[in-house]
């Protein structure tokens, strides 16, 4: 009789490497490992050999990079979504696309369960499982960190050594990292104490610290069409190469390093250092273009909606009616967000250096200090202010009446 199958979200890291033999020991499953490539780079090298050596019967390496940028990163960028004012959601919006592919392969393979290596204290367990529940509620979910006897990353290393499993960490370097085309996060070890300054020169992977960035600024011009980045320095580029190019420019100039103490969905605070060089540049650029192209009310409401959009993404609620509705609204708002934004990159800072758009709402004739345009007269201001200030005047009259 054939064994039942389980699909494992496999990265080749410490946790998912030891999960393979653990699943075989405790469930006697046929383990099918699935690695969703969302831009981990060389981390996918040699994964097939390592997965099969650990006991997996099969490994899928699914290239999701283009779809990840186009269908997850850019809609979040257009929404202006930033979690708690600092986090550009690099891990958050990668999980739904990976989980969706896990579901698809589980159905193709006839698997009865999906397993992930997210911890019981983290956000990723929620992101994986909400996506699975939304797309395949019939599948069983296994989360080893919530049920096994392993209590720490040190214990996990011991388990790997006892089972002769090759893992890419040692007890001297136990940072928990997540990397994709958008960012890399660093957590654990000395970063667990918020009082410790991050040792950036030894920590960073995508770029340099601002102190080590060039003494001469770099200028870059980004073109947008309806809120979607389409060019760098006048050269049309597909979404993935565009992000990769900006990661390179940003990394060289010390852009996009964020030291964050964030509120996890499960209720605790956690501290991490995030590198998002290209993303930081894009968020700065689209904001400048929106200043030029969106009216005041639209901008104000979009900023409010961005907070909710960020919370939905952070909380793993990508496949929900509200997130889809917000994306539809944002698409409508961004119809005129087309143009070019020039930025100056210098030692960790991104500074606007000029913006232009055929849909610009800025009218120099109206905005100038002169009285040269028929649409606006300085004399009109008196009546406007009288009406605008009428409630204040009435209240002051009332106060004067009852003042002793």
37 belongs to an annotated ligand binding site:
no
Among 140, 173, 206, the domain-final residue is 173
Q: What is the pLDDT of residue 30?
A: 96
Residue environment code for 261-270, b if the CB has 16+ CB neighbours within 10 A, otherwise e: ebeebeeeeb
Q: Any binding-site annotation on 175?
A: no
Does the annotation place 176 within a ligand binding site? yes
Q: How many Å apart are CA 54 and CA 52, to the nearest integer?
A: 5
**87 a known binding residue?**
yes
Say yes or no: 86 and 227 in one domain. Answer: no
Q: In angstroms, rounded to a whole number, what is the distance separating the alpha carbons of residues 77 and 95?
A: 16
218 appears as a binding residue in the annotation: no
Q: Is 325 annotated as a binding residue?
A: no
What's the confidence (pLDDT) of residue 343?
A: 98
Contact 348/208 with Cβ under 8 angstroms? no
The answer to whether 122 is annotated as binding is no
The total domain count for the chain is: 3
Same-domain check for residues 282 and 379: no
Ligand-binding annotation for 201, yes or no, is: no
Instruction: With respect to residue 161, please indicate whether it lies within any of the assigned structural domains.
Output: yes
Residue 323 in any domain: the answer is no
Q: CATH no. for residue 112? A: 3.40.50.620
Please indicate if the annotation marks 276 as binding a ligand: no
For residues 348 and 203, membership in a common domain is answered with yes
Check if the beta carbon of residue 237 is closer than 8 Å to that of residue 245. yes
240 and 147, same structural domain?
Answer: no
- The verdict on residue 106 lying in a domain is yes
Q: Domain check: are 131 and 188 in the same one?
A: no
| Alpha-carbon separation of residue 163 from 1, 13, 18, 146, 158 (angstroms) | 27, 15, 8, 21, 9
Chain centre distance of CA 91: 6
Model pLDDT, residue 172: 66
Residues 118 and 203 occupy one common structural domain: no
375: in domain:
yes
> Do 257 and 383 reside in the same domain of the chain?
no
Last residue of a domain, one of 138, 173, 208: 173
One domain, residues 235 and 376 = no
Considering the domain architecture, whether residues 350 and 378 belong to the same structural domain is answered as: no
Catalytic positions, written as ranges: 15, 95, 124, 176
User: Is the distance from CB of 383 to CB of 390 less than 8 angstroms?
Assistant: no
According to the annotation, is 17 in a ligand binding site?
yes
Q: Which is it for strands 339-346 and 218-225: parallel, antiparallel or unpaired?
A: antiparallel
* Count of Cβ atoms closer than 10 Å to residue 62 Cβ: 17
Residues of the chain with confidence (pLDDT) below 70:
168-173, 365-374, 404
Helix H, strand E, coil C: the string for the chain is CCCCEEEEECCCCHHHHHHHHHHHHHHCCEEEEEEEECCCHHHHCCHHHHHHHHCCCEEEEEECHHHHHHHHHHHHHHHCCCECCCECCCCCCCHHHHHHHHHHHHHHHCCCEEECCCCCCCCHHHHHHHHHHHHCCCCEEECHHHCCCCCCHHHHHHHHHHCCCCCCCECCECCEEEECCCCEEEECHHHHCCCCCCCHHHHCCCCCCHHHCCCCCEEEEEEEECCEEEEECCEECCHHHHHHHHHHHHHHCCCCEEEEEEECCCCCEEEEEEECHHHHHHHHHHHHHHHHHCCHHHHHHHHHHHHHHHHHHHCCCCCCHHHHHHHHHHHHHHHHCCEEEEEEEECCEEEEEEEECCCCCCCHHHHCCCCCCCCCCCCHHHHHHHHHCHHHHHHHHHHHHHCC
Range of the domain at 25: 5-173
Q: Is residue 325 part of a domain?
A: no
- 117 marked as binding residue: yes
Statement to judge: residues 131 and 10 lie in one domain: yes
Query: Do the annotations mark residue 123 as ligand-binding?
Result: yes
Residue 154 Cα distances to 103, 170, 279, angstroms: 31, 9, 33
Residue 232, domain CATH: 3.90.1260.10
Is 159 annotated as contributing to ligand binding? no
Count the Cβ atoms, other than its own, within 10 Å of residue 358.
8
- Residue 227 forms part of a structural domain: yes
Domain-embedded: residue 318: no
Measure the CA–CA gap between 357 and 346, rounded to whole angstroms: 25
- 341 in any annotated domain: yes
CA atoms within a 13 Å half-sphere pointing along the CA-CB vector of 92: 24
Distance between CA atoms of 228 and 336, rounded to whole angstroms?
A: 11
Q: Are both 140 and 19 inside the same structural domain?
A: yes
What is the length of the chain? Answer: 404
319 labeled part of a ligand binding site: no
Q: Which contacts of 195-204 are long-range, i.e. CB under 8 A and separated by 24 or more positions?
A: 198/259, 198/273, 200/257, 200/273, 203/175, 203/273, 204/257, 204/275
Is 147 in the same domain as 77?
yes
């Amino acid at each position: 009789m054939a064994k039942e199958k389980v699909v494992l979200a496999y990265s080749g890291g410490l946790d998912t490497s030891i999960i393979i033999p653990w699943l075989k020991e405790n469930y006697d499953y046929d383990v099918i490992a699935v690695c969703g490539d969302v831009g981990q780079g060389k981390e996918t090298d040699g994964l097939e050999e390592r997965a099969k050596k650990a006991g997996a019967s099969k490994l899928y390496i699914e290239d999701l990079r283009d779809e990840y940028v186009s269908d997850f990163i850019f809609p979040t960028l257009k929404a202006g979504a930033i979690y708690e004012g600092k986090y550009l959601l690099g891990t958050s919006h990668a999980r739904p696309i990976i989980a969706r592919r896990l579901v698809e392969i589980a159905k193709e393979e006839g698997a009865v369960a999906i397993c992930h290596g997210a911890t019981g204290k983290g956000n990723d367990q929620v992101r994986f499982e909400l996506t699975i529940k939304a797309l395949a509620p019939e599948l069983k979910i296994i989360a080893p960190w919530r049920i096994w006897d392993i209590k720490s990353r040190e214990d996990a290393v011991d388990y790997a050594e006892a089972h002769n499993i090759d893992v890419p960490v040692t007890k001297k370097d136990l940072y928990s990292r997540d990397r994709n085309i958008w960012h890399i996060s660093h957590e654990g070890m000395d970063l667990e104490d918020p009082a410790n300054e991050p040792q950036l020169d030894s920590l960073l992977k995508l770029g340099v610290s601002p102190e080590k960035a060039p003494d001469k600024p770099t200028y870059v011009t980004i073109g947008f069409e309806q809120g979607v980045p389409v060019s760098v320095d006048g050269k049309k580029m597909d979404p993935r190469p565009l992000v990769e190019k900006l990661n390179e420019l940003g990394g060289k100039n010390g852009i996009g390093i964020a030291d964050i103490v964030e509120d996890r969905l499960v209720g605790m605070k956690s501290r991490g250092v995030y590198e998002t060089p290209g993303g930081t540049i894009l968020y700065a650029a689209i904001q400048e273009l929106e200043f030029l192209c969106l009216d005041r009310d639209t901008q104000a409401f979009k900023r409010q909606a961005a907070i909710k959009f960020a919370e939905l993404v952070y909380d793993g609620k990508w496949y929900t009616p509200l997130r889809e509705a917000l994306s539809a609204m944002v698409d409508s708002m961004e119809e005129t967000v087309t143009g070019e934004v020039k930025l100056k990159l210098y030692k960790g800072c991104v500074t606007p250096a000029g913006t232009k758009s055929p849909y610009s709402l800025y009218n120099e004739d109206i905005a100038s200090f002169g009285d040269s345009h028929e649409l606006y007269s300085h004399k009109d201001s008196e009546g406007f202010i009288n009406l605008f200030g009428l409630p204040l005047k009435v209240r002051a009259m009332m106060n004067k009446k009852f003042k002793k």
